[in-house]
Amino acid sequence: GDWAVTDATSIRLSAAIYDFHRVEGSREVAPAPTGALGPTVPYEQSQYPAGARLRGNTLININDPTNTGAPVWGLASKFRPVNVTAALTLRQFDPVQVGLSFDYVKNSAFDLADIERRAGTTAVATLANMTSGVQARLQVGSRDLAQKGAWNTFLAYRQFERDAWLDAFTDTTWNLGGTNYRGFSLGGSYAFDRRASVGLRWTTTRSLDDHVRTLANPSQPTTVIGDMSSAPLKIDVLQFDVSTRF
């Protein structure tokens, strides 16, 4: 809902819940081989072989336990994200206005016991619960770009844990899509005509550390190394656009 605190100050609060059905993986009896997509391990976190699928969500091996040659992957978690948004708009500097917004999302369907049951192995028992996402955004400028000379600029910060949301349904501007990252986005727009504007946006992201560690030498407890999920992935995206309306 919207609330007018004063004539020049307003607040907006909203909440939503999304329930995705039958997207999670379950161990099959004997799926058809699809080629070697990756190592035969119980699960993969966040960053996995390039040929597997999109980036981000935790995967479980859904092969028949006797089939070790051609791993087939399924999503580990179920997804029922809850999203809360709060926004503050200040119009004391009209025609320039200031907007502050905060978004929080939490996957309420993440259940380690359920994942263990569907994966058919206790190896997933140490899987970390990384199921939250946050975004904070500041925007300054014109309310819209309907007049020549109107402008606005923004700065946003986002942190998106790996199982907070389905990685297939994400904004591809951030991290080229997927989940399991944090980063910033900075941009602005300018109306050079009442029906046309230009915009420039730079977005930079870095993968989150899953805090998963392995031993380079199993007999040497001091040989702790990071696995693929702790290897940094940095992505920078620069976008320029021209918009017009009729």
- Please write the tens of the pLDDT for every residue from 102-137: 999 999 999 999 999 888 888 888 888 999 999 999
157 part of a folded domain: yes
Partner residues linked to 159 by β-bridges? 134, 182
Structure token digits, residue 31: 């799926």
* Domain presence at residue 138: yes
Residue 229 predicted with pLDDT over 70: no
**Global pTM value:** 0.84
- Number of domain units in the chain: 1
Helix and strand totals (H; E) in the chain: 1, 14
Beta-carbon contacts of residue 96 (< 8 Å; ≥ 6 apart): 140, 141, 142
Q: How far apart are CA 86 and CA 159, in angstroms?
A: 17
Domain annotation covers residue 160: yes
| Structural domain of 152 | 2-18+80-244
Q: Does residue 55 fall inside a structural domain?
A: no
- Distance between CA atoms of 131 and 127, rounded to whole angstroms? 12
pLDDT at residue 221, rounded to an integer: 61
Average pLDDT, the chain: 85
Check residue 96 and give its pLDDT. Answer: 94
pLDDT given for residue 39 in this prediction: 46
Q: Return the minimum-mean-pLDDT range out of 124-128, 135-139, 144-148, 155-159.
A: 124-128
Q: Is residue 50 part of a domain?
A: no
Question: Would you say residue 212 lies in a domain?
Answer: yes
d(CA 157, CA 86): 15
Residue 188 lies in a domain: yes
